[in-house]
Amino acid sequence: MPTIAIIAPGNMGAAVARRLTHAGARVVTSLAGRSQASRDRARDAGMEDVGEEALAAADTILSILPPGDAEALARRLAPILARADTRPLYADCNAVSPETVGRIGGIVASAGCPFVDVGIIGGPPKDNSSGPAFYASGEAARRLEALRDLGIDIRVLPKPVGAASALKMSYSGITKGLTALGAAMMLAAHEAGVAEDLTSELDESQPVLADWLKRQVPRMYGKAYRWDGEMEEIASFAGRERGSGIIYTGAARLYREIAEDLRGEREQIAALDEVISRIA
Amino acid sequence: MPTIAIIAPGNMGAAVARRLTHAGARVVTSLAGRSQASRDRARDAGMEDVGEEALAAADTILSILPPGDAEALARRLAPILARADTRPLYADCNAVSPETVGRIGGIVASAGCPFVDVGIIGGPPKDNSSGPAFYASGEAARRLEALRDLGIDIRVLPKPVGAASALKMSYSGITKGLTALGAAMMLAAHEAGVAEDLTSELDESQPVLADWLKRQVPRMYGKAYRWDGEMEEIASFAGRERGSGIIYTGAARLYREIAEDLRGEREQIAALDEVISRIA
Protein backbone atom coordinates (compact mmCIF):
# COMPACT_ATOMS: atom_id res chain seq x y z
CA MET A 1 0.00 0.00 0.00
CA PRO A 2 1.30 3.46 -0.87
CA THR A 3 2.00 6.25 1.57
CA ILE A 4 0.31 9.51 0.69
CA ALA A 5 1.11 12.85 2.26
CA ILE A 6 -1.73 15.35 2.45
CA ILE A 7 -1.20 18.97 3.40
CA ALA A 8 -3.33 20.18 5.05
CA PRO A 9 -6.09 18.44 7.04
CA GLY A 10 -8.72 21.07 6.19
CA ASN A 11 -12.25 20.02 5.27
CA MET A 12 -11.24 18.78 1.83
CA GLY A 13 -7.81 17.41 2.78
CA ALA A 14 -9.09 15.45 5.78
CA ALA A 15 -12.03 14.02 3.83
CA VAL A 16 -9.68 12.85 1.05
CA ALA A 17 -7.39 11.35 3.71
CA ARG A 18 -10.32 9.53 5.30
CA ARG A 19 -11.26 7.92 1.99
CA LEU A 20 -7.64 6.86 1.42
CA THR A 21 -7.15 5.41 4.92
CA HIS A 22 -10.46 3.55 4.62
CA ALA A 23 -9.08 1.99 1.44
CA GLY A 24 -6.02 0.86 3.41
CA ALA A 25 -3.48 3.53 2.48
CA ARG A 26 -1.15 5.17 4.96
CA VAL A 27 -1.75 8.93 5.02
CA VAL A 28 0.79 11.22 6.62
CA THR A 29 0.78 14.95 7.27
CA SER A 30 2.50 17.64 9.30
CA LEU A 31 0.55 19.22 12.13
CA ALA A 32 3.22 21.73 13.17
CA GLY A 33 1.46 25.02 13.90
CA ARG A 34 -1.99 23.65 13.03
CA SER A 35 -5.15 24.40 15.02
CA GLN A 36 -6.84 21.95 17.39
CA ALA A 37 -9.66 21.60 14.82
CA SER A 38 -7.11 20.47 12.23
CA ARG A 39 -5.56 18.03 14.71
CA ASP A 40 -8.98 16.60 15.48
CA ARG A 41 -9.84 16.26 11.78
CA ALA A 42 -6.49 14.60 11.09
CA ARG A 43 -6.96 12.08 13.91
CA ASP A 44 -10.53 11.29 12.85
CA ALA A 45 -9.33 10.70 9.29
CA GLY A 46 -6.62 8.30 10.44
CA MET A 47 -3.76 10.60 9.40
CA GLU A 48 -0.31 10.29 10.99
CA ASP A 49 1.62 13.39 12.02
CA VAL A 50 5.18 12.76 10.81
CA GLY A 51 6.51 16.35 10.60
CA GLU A 52 7.50 18.17 7.42
CA GLU A 53 10.91 16.52 6.90
CA ALA A 54 9.38 13.04 6.69
CA LEU A 55 6.76 14.07 4.10
CA ALA A 56 9.43 13.60 1.43
CA ALA A 57 9.39 9.85 2.08
CA ALA A 58 5.78 9.53 0.86
CA ASP A 59 5.02 8.13 -2.60
CA THR A 60 2.71 11.02 -3.43
CA ILE A 61 2.20 14.47 -1.92
CA LEU A 62 -1.22 16.08 -2.31
CA SER A 63 -1.23 19.83 -1.65
CA ILE A 64 -4.82 20.72 -0.65
CA LEU A 65 -4.92 24.25 0.78
CA PRO A 66 -6.60 27.62 0.54
CA PRO A 67 -5.33 28.96 -2.81
CA GLY A 68 -3.25 31.74 -1.26
CA ASP A 69 -1.12 29.17 0.62
CA ALA A 70 -0.32 26.84 -2.29
CA GLU A 71 2.84 28.49 -3.57
CA ALA A 72 4.26 29.09 -0.08
CA LEU A 73 3.95 25.37 0.70
CA ALA A 74 5.88 24.42 -2.43
CA ARG A 75 8.62 26.91 -1.55
CA ARG A 76 8.83 25.52 2.01
CA LEU A 77 8.92 21.87 0.91
CA ALA A 78 11.32 22.35 -2.02
CA PRO A 79 14.58 22.24 0.03
CA ILE A 80 13.25 19.27 2.02
CA LEU A 81 12.43 17.40 -1.19
CA ALA A 82 15.74 18.37 -2.78
CA ARG A 83 17.82 16.81 0.02
CA ALA A 84 15.65 13.68 0.46
CA ASP A 85 16.61 10.27 -0.94
CA THR A 86 13.22 9.83 -2.62
CA ARG A 87 11.36 11.87 -5.22
CA PRO A 88 7.63 11.77 -4.45
CA LEU A 89 5.03 12.75 -7.04
CA TYR A 90 3.85 16.23 -6.09
CA ALA A 91 0.23 17.06 -6.98
CA ASP A 92 -0.96 20.62 -6.51
CA CYS A 93 -4.73 20.20 -6.03
CA ASN A 94 -5.52 23.83 -5.29
CA ALA A 95 -7.89 26.32 -6.88
CA VAL A 96 -5.17 28.42 -8.45
CA SER A 97 -4.71 29.97 -11.88
CA PRO A 98 -2.70 28.24 -14.62
CA GLU A 99 -0.05 30.93 -14.10
CA THR A 100 0.23 30.20 -10.37
CA VAL A 101 0.33 26.43 -10.89
CA GLY A 102 3.00 26.94 -13.53
CA ARG A 103 5.19 28.69 -10.94
CA ILE A 104 4.47 25.95 -8.38
CA GLY A 105 5.38 23.31 -10.96
CA GLY A 106 8.67 25.10 -11.59
CA ILE A 107 9.52 25.14 -7.88
CA VAL A 108 8.73 21.42 -7.55
CA ALA A 109 10.72 20.56 -10.70
CA SER A 110 13.73 22.43 -9.34
CA ALA A 111 13.60 20.10 -6.33
CA GLY A 112 13.74 17.16 -8.74
CA CYS A 113 10.19 15.86 -8.23
CA PRO A 114 7.60 14.96 -10.87
CA PHE A 115 4.63 17.33 -10.81
CA VAL A 116 0.91 17.05 -11.55
CA ASP A 117 -1.59 19.87 -11.89
CA VAL A 118 -4.87 18.82 -10.26
CA GLY A 119 -8.23 20.60 -10.18
CA ILE A 120 -10.76 19.16 -7.73
CA ILE A 121 -14.37 19.63 -8.83
CA GLY A 122 -17.08 18.85 -6.28
CA GLY A 123 -17.29 18.93 -2.50
CA PRO A 124 -15.20 16.83 -0.06
CA PRO A 125 -15.55 13.02 -0.41
CA LYS A 126 -18.48 11.49 1.46
CA ASP A 127 -19.09 7.86 2.30
CA ASN A 128 -22.11 7.58 0.01
CA SER A 129 -20.69 9.09 -3.19
CA SER A 130 -17.75 8.58 -5.55
CA GLY A 131 -16.87 12.26 -6.02
CA PRO A 132 -15.26 14.70 -6.16
CA ALA A 133 -13.49 14.53 -9.55
CA PHE A 134 -9.71 15.00 -9.51
CA TYR A 135 -8.81 16.35 -12.97
CA ALA A 136 -5.08 15.89 -13.58
CA SER A 137 -2.85 17.35 -16.29
CA GLY A 138 0.85 17.50 -17.08
CA GLU A 139 3.33 14.86 -18.25
CA ALA A 140 3.21 13.00 -14.94
CA ALA A 141 -0.59 13.02 -14.69
CA ARG A 142 -1.05 9.31 -15.44
CA ARG A 143 1.06 8.43 -12.39
CA LEU A 144 -1.78 9.76 -10.24
CA GLU A 145 -4.08 7.04 -11.61
CA ALA A 146 -2.68 4.76 -8.89
CA LEU A 147 -5.07 6.56 -6.53
CA ARG A 148 -8.08 5.19 -8.41
CA ASP A 149 -7.71 1.86 -6.63
CA LEU A 150 -8.00 3.81 -3.38
CA GLY A 151 -11.37 5.31 -4.33
CA ILE A 152 -10.24 8.63 -5.78
CA ASP A 153 -11.94 9.65 -9.06
CA ILE A 154 -8.82 10.57 -11.06
CA ARG A 155 -9.55 11.96 -14.53
CA VAL A 156 -6.49 12.52 -16.68
CA LEU A 157 -6.61 15.38 -19.18
CA PRO A 158 -4.00 14.68 -21.90
CA LYS A 159 -2.90 18.30 -21.68
CA PRO A 160 -0.05 20.29 -20.13
CA VAL A 161 0.28 21.64 -16.60
CA GLY A 162 -2.24 24.47 -16.31
CA ALA A 163 -5.12 22.68 -18.06
CA ALA A 164 -6.55 21.09 -14.93
CA SER A 165 -6.35 24.41 -13.12
CA ALA A 166 -7.95 26.24 -16.06
CA LEU A 167 -10.84 23.77 -15.96
CA LYS A 168 -11.24 24.24 -12.22
CA MET A 169 -11.13 28.06 -12.59
CA SER A 170 -13.70 28.21 -15.37
CA TYR A 171 -16.06 25.79 -13.61
CA SER A 172 -15.81 27.58 -10.25
CA GLY A 173 -16.12 30.92 -11.98
CA ILE A 174 -19.60 29.89 -13.08
CA THR A 175 -20.78 28.12 -9.90
CA LYS A 176 -19.14 30.24 -7.19
CA GLY A 177 -19.65 33.29 -9.39
CA LEU A 178 -23.40 32.64 -9.52
CA THR A 179 -23.44 32.25 -5.74
CA ALA A 180 -21.77 35.68 -5.51
CA LEU A 181 -24.32 37.24 -7.89
CA GLY A 182 -27.19 35.73 -5.93
CA ALA A 183 -25.83 37.00 -2.61
CA ALA A 184 -25.09 40.45 -4.07
CA MET A 185 -28.58 40.92 -5.50
CA MET A 186 -30.39 39.42 -2.49
CA LEU A 187 -28.56 41.88 -0.24
CA ALA A 188 -29.29 44.81 -2.55
CA ALA A 189 -32.97 43.83 -2.88
CA HIS A 190 -33.21 43.45 0.90
CA GLU A 191 -31.77 46.92 1.46
CA ALA A 192 -34.13 48.38 -1.15
CA GLY A 193 -37.15 46.73 0.49
CA VAL A 194 -38.02 44.48 -2.48
CA ALA A 195 -36.67 41.11 -1.31
CA GLU A 196 -40.10 39.47 -1.26
CA ASP A 197 -40.84 40.79 -4.76
CA LEU A 198 -37.53 39.43 -6.05
CA THR A 199 -38.03 35.95 -4.61
CA SER A 200 -41.60 35.70 -5.86
CA GLU A 201 -40.59 36.78 -9.38
CA LEU A 202 -37.64 34.34 -9.35
CA ASP A 203 -39.92 31.53 -8.17
CA GLU A 204 -42.29 32.34 -11.00
CA SER A 205 -39.98 32.95 -13.96
CA GLN A 206 -36.60 31.46 -12.92
CA PRO A 207 -37.53 28.51 -10.66
CA VAL A 208 -34.39 26.62 -11.59
CA LEU A 209 -32.08 29.49 -10.58
CA ALA A 210 -34.15 30.22 -7.45
CA ASP A 211 -33.79 26.61 -6.35
CA TRP A 212 -30.06 26.57 -7.13
CA LEU A 213 -29.45 29.74 -5.11
CA LYS A 214 -31.57 28.53 -2.19
CA ARG A 215 -29.28 25.51 -1.90
CA GLN A 216 -25.95 27.15 -2.62
CA VAL A 217 -25.97 30.58 -0.95
CA PRO A 218 -26.22 29.33 2.68
CA ARG A 219 -23.47 26.75 2.07
CA MET A 220 -21.17 29.60 1.09
CA TYR A 221 -21.06 31.59 4.36
CA GLY A 222 -18.44 29.46 6.08
CA LYS A 223 -16.32 29.15 2.93
CA ALA A 224 -16.37 32.81 1.90
CA TYR A 225 -12.96 33.42 3.56
CA ARG A 226 -11.51 30.77 1.27
CA TRP A 227 -13.43 31.68 -1.89
CA ASP A 228 -11.98 35.19 -1.68
CA GLY A 229 -8.57 33.85 -2.74
CA GLU A 230 -10.12 31.56 -5.35
CA MET A 231 -11.95 34.50 -6.95
CA GLU A 232 -8.64 36.44 -7.06
CA GLU A 233 -7.05 33.50 -8.91
CA ILE A 234 -10.00 33.47 -11.35
CA ALA A 235 -9.61 37.23 -11.89
CA SER A 236 -6.00 36.61 -12.84
CA PHE A 237 -6.99 33.63 -15.03
CA ALA A 238 -9.62 35.72 -16.86
CA GLY A 239 -7.32 38.73 -17.27
CA ARG A 240 -7.43 41.45 -14.63
CA GLU A 241 -7.68 44.27 -17.15
CA ARG A 242 -10.70 42.80 -18.90
CA GLY A 243 -14.36 42.92 -17.97
CA SER A 244 -14.19 39.23 -16.98
CA GLY A 245 -11.33 39.84 -14.58
CA ILE A 246 -13.06 42.82 -12.96
CA ILE A 247 -16.16 40.69 -12.31
CA TYR A 248 -14.07 38.26 -10.23
CA THR A 249 -12.13 41.02 -8.49
CA GLY A 250 -15.55 42.20 -7.32
CA ALA A 251 -16.60 38.66 -6.33
CA ALA A 252 -13.41 38.33 -4.24
CA ARG A 253 -14.23 41.54 -2.41
CA LEU A 254 -17.84 40.43 -1.88
CA TYR A 255 -16.66 37.17 -0.31
CA ARG A 256 -14.23 39.11 1.93
CA GLU A 257 -17.13 41.32 3.05
CA ILE A 258 -19.27 38.28 3.83
CA ALA A 259 -16.42 36.53 5.67
CA GLU A 260 -15.93 39.67 7.80
CA ASP A 261 -19.66 39.88 8.45
CA LEU A 262 -19.71 36.23 9.52
CA ARG A 263 -16.96 36.89 12.08
CA GLY A 264 -18.62 40.12 13.24
CA GLU A 265 -22.12 41.57 13.13
CA ARG A 266 -23.71 38.86 10.97
CA GLU A 267 -26.06 41.46 9.50
CA GLN A 268 -25.52 40.35 5.90
CA ILE A 269 -25.87 36.70 6.90
CA ALA A 270 -29.17 37.46 8.64
CA ALA A 271 -30.42 39.39 5.59
CA LEU A 272 -29.42 36.56 3.23
CA ASP A 273 -31.11 33.97 5.45
CA GLU A 274 -34.28 36.03 5.48
CA VAL A 275 -34.35 36.42 1.70
CA ILE A 276 -33.58 32.76 1.11
CA SER A 277 -36.33 31.65 3.50
CA ARG A 278 -38.84 33.31 1.13
CA ILE A 279 -37.80 31.19 -1.87
CA ALA A 280 -40.36 28.44 -2.42
CA MET B 1 -59.96 54.09 -26.10
CA PRO B 2 -56.91 55.75 -24.56
CA THR B 3 -53.99 57.21 -26.48
CA ILE B 4 -50.62 55.93 -25.36
CA ALA B 5 -47.30 57.46 -26.33
CA ILE B 6 -44.33 55.09 -26.52
CA ILE B 7 -40.79 56.32 -26.86
CA ALA B 8 -39.01 54.66 -28.56
CA PRO B 9 -40.00 51.99 -31.12
CA GLY B 10 -37.09 49.69 -30.25
CA ASN B 11 -37.64 45.94 -29.94
CA MET B 12 -39.43 46.23 -26.60
CA GLY B 13 -41.24 49.52 -27.31
CA ALA B 14 -42.57 48.41 -30.69
CA ALA B 15 -43.71 45.03 -29.34
CA VAL B 16 -45.60 46.74 -26.49
CA ALA B 17 -47.14 49.13 -29.03
CA ARG B 18 -48.22 46.24 -31.21
CA ARG B 19 -50.03 44.59 -28.32
CA LEU B 20 -51.78 47.87 -27.47
CA THR B 21 -52.85 48.66 -31.04
CA HIS B 22 -54.12 45.07 -31.43
CA ALA B 23 -56.29 45.72 -28.36
CA GLY B 24 -57.68 48.83 -30.07
CA ALA B 25 -55.62 51.58 -28.46
CA ARG B 26 -54.11 54.48 -30.37
CA VAL B 27 -50.31 54.46 -29.96
CA VAL B 28 -48.32 57.54 -30.89
CA THR B 29 -44.56 58.19 -30.98
CA SER B 30 -41.99 60.58 -32.36
CA LEU B 31 -39.76 59.34 -35.15
CA ALA B 32 -37.65 62.48 -35.48
CA GLY B 33 -34.06 61.38 -35.92
CA ARG B 34 -34.89 57.66 -35.72
CA SER B 35 -33.38 54.99 -37.97
CA GLN B 36 -35.19 53.31 -40.84
CA ALA B 37 -35.36 50.13 -38.73
CA SER B 38 -37.23 52.07 -36.02
CA ARG B 39 -39.58 53.56 -38.62
CA ASP B 40 -40.30 50.10 -40.00
CA ARG B 41 -40.93 48.67 -36.54
CA ALA B 42 -43.22 51.61 -35.69
CA ARG B 43 -45.24 51.16 -38.88
CA ASP B 44 -45.55 47.39 -38.39
CA ALA B 45 -46.76 47.98 -34.83
CA GLY B 46 -49.45 50.43 -35.98
CA MET B 47 -47.81 53.41 -34.26
CA GLU B 48 -48.50 56.97 -35.43
CA ASP B 49 -45.67 59.48 -35.76
CA VAL B 50 -47.03 62.69 -34.23
CA GLY B 51 -43.78 64.50 -33.32
CA GLU B 52 -42.56 65.27 -29.82
CA GLU B 53 -44.83 68.28 -29.11
CA ALA B 54 -48.00 66.22 -29.61
CA LEU B 55 -46.87 63.44 -27.25
CA ALA B 56 -48.10 65.59 -24.35
CA ALA B 57 -51.70 65.06 -25.54
CA ALA B 58 -51.51 61.31 -24.84
CA ASP B 59 -53.18 59.85 -21.75
CA THR B 60 -50.05 57.89 -20.81
CA ILE B 61 -46.41 58.15 -21.85
CA LEU B 62 -44.28 55.00 -21.66
CA SER B 63 -40.54 55.67 -21.78
CA ILE B 64 -38.93 52.45 -23.08
CA LEU B 65 -35.31 53.10 -23.99
CA PRO B 66 -31.74 51.94 -23.48
CA PRO B 67 -31.05 52.89 -19.83
CA GLY B 68 -28.52 55.59 -20.68
CA ASP B 69 -31.16 57.53 -22.64
CA ALA B 70 -33.93 57.54 -20.01
CA GLU B 71 -33.02 60.70 -18.13
CA ALA B 72 -32.25 62.69 -21.29
CA LEU B 73 -35.73 61.93 -22.64
CA ALA B 74 -37.37 63.20 -19.45
CA ARG B 75 -35.29 66.39 -19.63
CA ARG B 76 -36.26 66.91 -23.28
CA LEU B 77 -39.98 66.29 -22.73
CA ALA B 78 -40.29 68.27 -19.46
CA PRO B 79 -40.71 71.73 -21.07
CA ILE B 80 -43.15 70.28 -23.63
CA LEU B 81 -45.21 68.71 -20.84
CA ALA B 82 -45.04 71.87 -18.73
CA ARG B 83 -46.59 74.08 -21.44
CA ALA B 84 -49.22 71.55 -22.60
CA ASP B 85 -52.92 71.73 -21.59
CA THR B 86 -52.95 68.11 -20.45
CA ARG B 87 -50.95 66.22 -17.84
CA PRO B 88 -50.30 62.69 -19.08
CA LEU B 89 -49.23 59.91 -16.72
CA TYR B 90 -45.47 59.43 -17.31
CA ALA B 91 -44.16 55.89 -16.77
CA ASP B 92 -40.41 55.34 -16.86
CA CYS B 93 -40.12 51.67 -17.87
CA ASN B 94 -36.35 51.56 -18.17
CA ALA B 95 -33.69 49.38 -16.55
CA VAL B 96 -32.29 52.14 -14.35
CA SER B 97 -31.28 52.33 -10.70
CA PRO B 98 -33.66 53.62 -8.01
CA GLU B 99 -31.42 56.70 -7.80
CA THR B 100 -31.72 57.41 -11.53
CA VAL B 101 -35.48 56.85 -11.56
CA GLY B 102 -35.77 59.16 -8.55
CA ARG B 103 -34.12 61.93 -10.58
CA ILE B 104 -36.36 61.21 -13.58
CA GLY B 105 -39.43 61.30 -11.31
CA GLY B 106 -38.31 64.68 -10.02
CA ILE B 107 -37.96 66.07 -13.55
CA VAL B 108 -41.42 64.78 -14.51
CA ALA B 109 -43.00 66.13 -11.29
CA SER B 110 -41.52 69.56 -11.97
CA ALA B 111 -43.39 69.52 -15.28
CA GLY B 112 -46.59 68.85 -13.32
CA CYS B 113 -47.20 65.27 -14.45
CA PRO B 114 -47.98 62.21 -12.31
CA PHE B 115 -45.11 59.67 -12.40
CA VAL B 116 -44.85 55.87 -12.19
CA ASP B 117 -41.69 53.81 -11.76
CA VAL B 118 -41.96 50.69 -13.93
CA GLY B 119 -39.63 47.70 -14.17
CA ILE B 120 -40.30 45.36 -17.10
CA ILE B 121 -39.35 41.75 -16.41
CA GLY B 122 -39.36 39.36 -19.35
CA GLY B 123 -38.78 39.73 -23.08
CA PRO B 124 -40.88 41.80 -25.52
CA PRO B 125 -44.59 40.82 -25.76
CA LYS B 126 -45.38 38.00 -28.17
CA ASP B 127 -48.71 36.98 -29.60
CA ASN B 128 -48.77 33.65 -27.78
CA SER B 129 -47.93 34.79 -24.23
CA SER B 130 -49.20 37.25 -21.63
CA GLY B 131 -45.80 38.60 -20.52
CA PRO B 132 -43.69 40.51 -19.83
CA ALA B 133 -44.59 41.73 -16.33
CA PHE B 134 -44.76 45.51 -15.83
CA TYR B 135 -44.03 46.07 -12.12
CA ALA B 136 -45.19 49.57 -11.12
CA SER B 137 -44.48 51.56 -7.96
CA GLY B 138 -45.06 55.09 -6.68
CA GLU B 139 -48.21 56.93 -5.61
CA ALA B 140 -49.62 57.04 -9.15
CA ALA B 141 -48.91 53.35 -9.89
CA ARG B 142 -52.55 52.22 -9.73
CA ARG B 143 -53.40 54.59 -12.58
CA LEU B 144 -51.35 52.34 -14.87
CA GLU B 145 -53.78 49.47 -14.20
CA ALA B 146 -55.93 50.90 -17.02
CA LEU B 147 -53.46 49.17 -19.39
CA ARG B 148 -54.51 45.75 -18.10
CA ASP B 149 -57.61 45.84 -20.29
CA LEU B 150 -55.27 46.32 -23.23
CA GLY B 151 -53.34 43.15 -22.50
CA ILE B 152 -50.44 44.53 -20.46
CA ASP B 153 -49.56 42.56 -17.31
CA ILE B 154 -49.45 45.47 -14.83
CA ARG B 155 -48.37 44.46 -11.30
CA VAL B 156 -48.62 47.21 -8.74
CA LEU B 157 -46.12 47.17 -5.88
CA PRO B 158 -47.58 49.21 -2.99
CA LYS B 159 -44.20 50.87 -2.54
CA PRO B 160 -42.56 54.19 -3.42
CA VAL B 161 -40.87 55.22 -6.65
CA GLY B 162 -37.62 53.24 -6.83
CA ALA B 163 -39.09 49.90 -5.74
CA ALA B 164 -40.03 48.72 -9.23
CA SER B 165 -36.58 49.70 -10.49
CA ALA B 166 -34.88 47.97 -7.54
CA LEU B 167 -36.79 44.79 -8.35
CA LYS B 168 -35.79 45.03 -12.01
CA MET B 169 -32.13 45.66 -11.08
CA SER B 170 -31.89 42.75 -8.66
CA TYR B 171 -33.63 40.34 -11.03
CA SER B 172 -31.50 41.36 -14.03
CA GLY B 173 -28.40 41.31 -11.88
CA ILE B 174 -28.94 37.59 -11.40
CA THR B 175 -30.07 36.63 -14.91
CA LYS B 176 -27.95 38.95 -17.06
CA GLY B 177 -25.16 38.60 -14.51
CA LEU B 178 -25.15 34.81 -14.96
CA THR B 179 -25.06 35.27 -18.73
CA ALA B 180 -21.97 37.46 -18.24
CA LEU B 181 -20.29 34.85 -16.00
CA GLY B 182 -21.05 32.11 -18.51
CA ALA B 183 -19.62 34.12 -21.40
CA ALA B 184 -16.56 35.15 -19.37
CA MET B 185 -15.68 31.60 -18.34
CA MET B 186 -16.47 30.04 -21.72
CA LEU B 187 -14.11 32.54 -23.35
CA ALA B 188 -11.40 31.94 -20.74
CA ALA B 189 -11.76 28.15 -21.02
CA HIS B 190 -11.61 28.40 -24.81
CA GLU B 191 -8.39 30.44 -24.66
CA ALA B 192 -6.90 27.97 -22.19
CA GLY B 193 -7.80 25.00 -24.40
CA VAL B 194 -10.19 23.37 -21.94
CA ALA B 195 -13.58 24.34 -23.39
CA GLU B 196 -14.59 20.74 -24.10
CA ASP B 197 -13.60 19.70 -20.58
CA LEU B 198 -15.65 22.54 -19.10
CA THR B 199 -18.80 21.75 -21.07
CA SER B 200 -18.59 18.04 -20.33
CA GLU B 201 -18.14 18.68 -16.58
CA LEU B 202 -21.03 21.19 -16.61
CA ASP B 203 -23.24 18.70 -18.46
CA GLU B 204 -22.39 16.08 -15.85
CA SER B 205 -22.57 18.02 -12.58
CA GLN B 206 -24.47 21.23 -13.40
CA PRO B 207 -26.90 20.21 -16.16
CA VAL B 208 -29.42 22.86 -15.13
CA LEU B 209 -26.88 25.70 -15.43
CA ALA B 210 -25.42 24.23 -18.65
CA ASP B 211 -28.88 24.19 -20.20
CA TRP B 212 -29.66 27.71 -18.99
CA LEU B 213 -26.40 29.08 -20.44
CA LYS B 214 -26.89 27.26 -23.75
CA ARG B 215 -30.19 29.08 -24.19
CA GLN B 216 -29.24 32.49 -22.84
CA VAL B 217 -25.67 33.22 -23.98
CA PRO B 218 -26.42 33.31 -27.75
CA ARG B 219 -29.47 35.54 -27.19
CA MET B 220 -27.21 38.08 -25.52
CA TYR B 221 -24.88 38.97 -28.44
CA GLY B 222 -27.21 41.45 -30.11
CA LYS B 223 -28.27 43.01 -26.80
CA ALA B 224 -24.81 43.39 -25.27
CA TYR B 225 -24.59 47.05 -26.40
CA ARG B 226 -27.70 47.75 -24.34
CA TRP B 227 -26.88 45.52 -21.35
CA ASP B 228 -23.67 47.52 -20.87
CA GLY B 229 -25.70 50.49 -19.61
CA GLU B 230 -27.98 48.24 -17.57
CA MET B 231 -24.99 46.68 -15.79
CA GLU B 232 -23.67 50.19 -14.99
CA GLU B 233 -27.03 51.02 -13.40
CA ILE B 234 -26.88 47.77 -11.38
CA ALA B 235 -23.34 48.65 -10.26
CA SER B 236 -24.68 51.94 -8.95
CA PHE B 237 -27.70 50.19 -7.36
CA ALA B 238 -25.43 47.68 -5.60
CA GLY B 239 -22.93 50.33 -4.46
CA ARG B 240 -19.92 51.03 -6.68
CA GLU B 241 -17.44 50.86 -3.82
CA ARG B 242 -18.59 47.41 -2.69
CA GLY B 243 -17.73 43.99 -4.04
CA SER B 244 -21.23 43.75 -5.54
CA GLY B 245 -20.83 46.99 -7.45
CA ILE B 246 -17.41 45.99 -8.82
CA ILE B 247 -18.89 42.74 -10.16
CA TYR B 248 -21.36 44.70 -12.30
CA THR B 249 -18.77 47.27 -13.36
CA GLY B 250 -16.90 44.26 -14.76
CA ALA B 251 -20.04 42.85 -16.38
CA ALA B 252 -20.67 46.23 -18.08
CA ARG B 253 -17.15 46.18 -19.51
CA LEU B 254 -17.54 42.56 -20.65
CA TYR B 255 -20.74 43.45 -22.51
CA ARG B 256 -18.99 46.43 -24.12
CA GLU B 257 -16.19 44.11 -25.26
CA ILE B 258 -18.72 41.67 -26.73
CA ALA B 259 -20.69 44.45 -28.43
CA GLU B 260 -17.43 45.71 -30.01
CA ASP B 261 -16.51 42.20 -31.09
CA LEU B 262 -19.95 41.73 -32.67
CA ARG B 263 -19.45 44.90 -34.76
CA GLY B 264 -15.88 43.93 -35.61
CA GLU B 265 -13.87 40.73 -35.73
CA ARG B 266 -16.51 38.45 -34.20
CA GLU B 267 -13.74 36.34 -32.68
CA GLN B 268 -15.35 36.17 -29.24
CA ILE B 269 -18.75 35.42 -30.78
CA ALA B 270 -17.22 32.55 -32.79
CA ALA B 271 -15.50 31.19 -29.66
CA LEU B 272 -18.71 31.38 -27.64
CA ASP B 273 -20.70 29.66 -30.39
CA GLU B 274 -18.13 26.89 -30.53
CA VAL B 275 -18.19 26.33 -26.76
CA ILE B 276 -22.00 26.43 -26.61
CA SER B 277 -22.30 23.92 -29.45
CA ARG B 278 -20.54 21.39 -27.19
CA ILE B 279 -23.15 21.62 -24.43
CA ALA B 280 -25.47 18.62 -24.60
Mutate one of B185, B202, B220, B232 to test the A interface: name it (highest A CB count within 10 A): B185
Q: Can you tell me the ipTM of this complex?
A: 0.96
Q: Pinpoint the alpha helices (H) of A136-223.
A: 163-191, 195-205, 207-220
Rg for chain A, CA atoms, rounded: 20
Instruction: State the average pLDDT over residues A180-209.
Output: 98
Tally A–B CB contacts below 8 A: 200
pLDDT band at B245 (very low <50, low <70, confident <90, very high): very high
Q: What is the pLDDT of residue A128?
A: 83
Whether B224 has a pLDDT exceeding 90, the answer reads yes
User: Which of A170, A181, A245 lies at the smallest CB-CB distance from B178?
Assistant: A181
B73-83: per-residue pLDDT in tens? 999 999 999 99
DSSP 8-state class, residue B63 = E
Contact A136, A118 (CB under 8 A): yes
A198 and chain B in contact, CB less than 8 A: yes
A122-179: per-residue pLDDT in tens? 999 998 888 899 999 999 999 999 999 999 999 999 999 999 999 999 999 999 999 9
Instruction: State the average pLDDT over residues A252-257.
Output: 98
Q: What is the pLDDT of residue B231?
A: 98
Instruction: Provide, as residue numbers in chain B, all residues whose Cβ is less than 8 Å from the Cβ of A243.
Output: 180, 184, 250-257
Q: What is the pLDDT of residue A216?
A: 98
Q: What is the pLDDT of residue B175?
A: 98
Instruction: State the average pLDDT over residues A266-277.
Output: 98
A132 and chain B in contact, CB less than 8 A: no
A226-240: per-residue pLDDT in tens? 999 999 999 999 999
For the structural domain made of B3-159, what CATH number should be given?
A: 3.40.50.720
- The domain spans of chain B are 3-159, 165-277
A206 and chain B in contact, CB less than 8 A: yes
Whether A35 has a pLDDT exceeding 90, the answer reads yes
Q: What is the pLDDT of residue B227?
A: 96
pLDDT band at A211 (very low <50, low <70, confident <90, very high): very high
State the architecture of B165-277 in CATH terms. Orthogonal Bundle (1.10)
Q: What is the pLDDT of residue A102?
A: 98
Computed over every residue of chain A, the mean pLDDT equals 97
Contact B157, A189 (CB under 8 A): no
Full DSSP string of A79-143: HHHHHSS---EEEE-S---HHHHHHHHHHHHHTT--EEEEEEESSS--TT----EEEEESTTGGG
Q: Pinpoint the alpha helices (H) of B51-139.
A: 70-83, 98-110
Among residues of chain A, what percentage have pLDDT more than 90?
A: 97
DSSP 8-state class, residue B115 = E
pLDDT band at B129 (very low <50, low <70, confident <90, very high): confident
Q: What is the pLDDT of residue A145?
A: 97
CA distance A207 to A187: 19
Mutate one of A181, A242, A253, A268 to test the B interface: name it (highest B CB count within 10 A): A181
B98-112: per-residue pLDDT in tens? 999 999 999 999 999
Whether A223 has a pLDDT exceeding 90, the answer reads yes
B139-150: per-residue pLDDT in tens? 999 999 999 999
Computed over every residue of chain B, the mean pLDDT equals 97
Rg for chain B, CA atoms, rounded: 20
Q: What is the pLDDT of residue A272?
A: 98
Q: What is the pLDDT of residue B1?
A: 86
Mutate one of A197, A242, A255 to test the B interface: name it (highest B CB count within 10 A): A197
For residue A198, give how far its alpha carbon lies from the nearest alpha carbon of chain B (Å): 6
Is B242 in Cβ contact with A157 (below 8 Å)?
Answer: no
Q: What is the pLDDT of residue B150?
A: 96
Q: What is the pLDDT of residue A1?
A: 86
pLDDT band at B128 (very low <50, low <70, confident <90, very high): confident
